[in-house]
Chains A and B, each alone.
Chain A
Amino acid sequence: MAGSDDDTKLIEQSLTGDPEAYAALVNQHQKMIRAVAFRMTGSLDDAEELAQDAFLSAYRQLGSFGGGSKFSTWLCKIAINLSLDWRRRESRRSDIHSKWAEETVFENNPGDRFPDNLSRRVQDALNRLPAKQRAAIVLTIYENQSHAEAAKTLRCAEATISWRVFAARQKLKRLLKGLPHE
């Protein structure tokens, strides 16, 4: 099974029905999953809810984790796909449906205190990307996945990821124009 020895042991214990072992796994990976969920939703509250769904879903599927990848990568895959479903639901709810793409813009939650203006501007720009392009950026830039890995995570062709990253970069360049980069 890929992943750290600690993860492997905790997964085995979780599979025998030890919830404390799973709590330890959650504790170990919650920051990463909550970060991915935040990048996708733009809100700490929504990210927490999504991360909770991701960990519960992962627990139900734990028996099928074959170890072909790291446990963190497997968790990330569940979280990012749940966040795409969440975006779809939210888009439907707000009833702003575009024929071509999911264009609903999610504003940053004013209650979320960003450490600086650059961080707020970047998240605001990410919120303005179509969800699938945002997912491609989150995986390749923030999770350091290759285009091939991101394609597996999002269950699409590598060329599709490359194209989404390309299109997202064009838009981000425009949205983040004027920000200091050094």
Chain B
Amino acid sequence: MNRPELESILKKSRLPEIPEESLAIFPRRIVAGIKRNDPPVRTARNYSPHLAWAFGLAACVVIAFAIGHWRVRAGKEKIPTNDTLASVKLVRETLAMFPNQVRAIVEDEHGMNLVLSDNNDVPTSPPIYIRICDGKQCSSLVTFSGQEIQIAGQNITVLSDASGGIILEGSKFVWSSTSRIYASSNLKIEAKTL
């Protein structure tokens, strides 16, 4: 089933009919409800100068803190912040949908792809985020230790050790997050455990 076919099914579905009496009574129920409450008020726009100064000061402190925090992070973090797969929350939502089935979530120039196992046999382990750039083309994926995934035109086996180090073994290179073993000059690789 492709995307337009799915949308056509979703749009064809109709709701159970709401009884006419319910539609007629409903506005009266709301009116009864609002009569018990205070009427709405237009948002007031009078600010005290003291309050404005306090807010201004608080905003400055927050901005200063944010800039400082961002600089520290920018120094350490090379993974782009707009990379969808770097979001732990989104990855967790997907893994929860297909328990023990997700071999990898891959994002490349063709978009996002889920690589699912036919059986629920993917062992539970911490997800590993990998970003590989070959010249100008970059691909990201989230996968697990022990998985063999095709990315950047080659099969790559992903392994992690007990101390959190990540090893990628491709047909033309070997890469390690700890000892920086490298056998390909064109590839830029980053990896971390999510």
* Chain A interface SS verdict (over half): helix
Query: Does A30 contact B23, Cβ atoms closer than 8 Å?
Result: yes
A105: Cβ under 8 A from any B Cβ: no
Q: Which of A103, A166, A177, A182 contacts B8 (CB 8 A)?
A: A182
A26: Cβ under 8 A from any B Cβ: yes
Query: Does A170 contact B114, Cβ atoms closer than 8 Å?
Result: yes
Query: Does B16 contact A22, Cβ atoms closer than 8 Å?
Result: no
Size of A's binding interface in residues, CB under 8 A: 65
Q: Which of A34, A163, A181 contacts B1 (CB 8 A)?
A: A181
Query: Does A56 contact B10, Cβ atoms closer than 8 Å?
Result: no
Provide the residues of chain B in CB contact with A93, threshold 8 Å: none
Choose the segment among B46-54, B69-77, B93-101 that binds chain A (4+ C-beta atoms closer than 8 Å).
B93-101
For chain A residues 141-166, which have a beta carbon within 8 Å of chain B? 141-142, 159-160, 162-164, 166
Q: How many A-B residue pairs have CB under 8 A?
A: 144
A107: Cβ under 8 A from any B Cβ: no
For chain A residues 1-39, which have a beta carbon within 8 Å of chain B? 14-15, 17, 19-20, 22-24, 26-27, 30-31, 34-35, 38-39
Query: Does B31 contact A133, Cβ atoms closer than 8 Å?
Result: no
B contact set with A: CB distance below 8 Å? 1, 3, 5-18, 22-23, 26-31, 33-35, 37-43, 82, 84, 87, 90, 92-97, 112, 114
